[in-house]
Amino acid sequence: MTKQTLVYFTVLLTAITVSNCKNKATENQSKSSGDAAVMLPEKTDSLMGFEGCSRAGFKMLSPQVHEFKYQDYTFRITNKEDGAESIEAVLDSTGRRFKVPDVEPTYFRGAARGHFFVDVGTAPDVREMIVYSLTRESLSQVYRTQYLLEEPPFVAESGSLWFYVPVPESEVAKEINCPDKADWLKKDLKVGYGQRYLYNMVNRGLTRKSEFICAPLQ
């Protein structure tokens, strides 16, 4: 082995040793940080809830508790033992707190235009949702309805919440294409139908459209 080769291997071994030391130091530092790195992730621009909802800041306070921070208010979500969520709204300007009723299983589904949405119950196909209005003085339930999970609700740029409400087949105003109907029936599933509804969060008006879908139901 030449002197030049020996120098090369010596330098290479030294570099590997230094790299290993750095990796161990980083690992130890992560371990010494404890739960801070795992339990307190934060995001400044998080998407939460139905499509079209406002973006929010996100912060995890513990494995069971996290927050979504919007422009004027913060929602603190606590995971319950039964899998549902306890929801509390906090007005940032005053610190006033509003507890969302949770007699039934509730799940936070985002906020938009001074309103926020709560999913209710545990049904697999036909869900219920509540629309709440939040002001500095009060928390008010302004609308409650069933909806088909097959086509989840979304918030349009116009300020309306779009969703499909389950309806009996007799109310379907026109024939709709349902190519999977036979397969659903073979699997002992039922066939459900939904009609498009729009809830306007600006004037709280409700509109029914002549748009229908079919969906499998358990």
CATH number at residue 117: 2.40.128
Going by pLDDT thresholds of 50, 70 and 90, the confidence category of residue 135 is confident
For residues 126 and 96, give the distance between their C-alpha atoms in angstroms, rounded to a whole number: 34
* Domain membership flag for residue 108: yes
Transcribe 26-88 into DSSP letters.
HHHHHHHTTTHHHH--EEEEE--SSBTPPPEEEEE-SSSEEEEE-SSEEEEEEE-TTS-EEEE
* Domain membership flag for residue 213: yes
Task: Select from 198, 190, 197 the least CA-distant residue to 214.
Answer: 190
Helix (H) or strand (E) holding 187: none
pTM to 2 decimal places:
0.77
Tally of domains in the chain: 1
* Domain membership flag for residue 30: no
Strands 115-120 and 65-69: unpaired
Encoding tokens for residue 142?
């302004």
% of the chain surpassing 90 pLDDT: 67
* Locus of tokens 């659903």: 184
* Domain membership flag for residue 27: no
Encoding tokens for residue 78?
């606590």
168-208: pLDDT as tens digits: 999 998 888 899 999 999 999 999 999 999 999 999 999 99
Write the secondary structure of 101-159 as one string of H (helix), E (strand) and C (coil).
CCCCCEEEEEEECCEEEEEECCCCCEEEEEEEEECCCCEEEEEEEEEECCCCCEECCCC
* Domain membership flag for residue 204: yes
* Domain membership flag for residue 178: yes
For residues 2 and 8, give the distance between their C-alpha atoms in angstroms, rounded to a whole number: 10
pLDDT at position 41 = 66
Domain of residue 195: give its range.
37-217
pLDDT at position 5 = 39
Helix (H) or strand (E) holding 176: none
* Domain membership flag for residue 19: no
For 56-62, the CB contacts below 8 A with 24+ separation are 56/110, 56/111
More confident site: 56 or 36: 56
* Domain membership flag for residue 106: yes
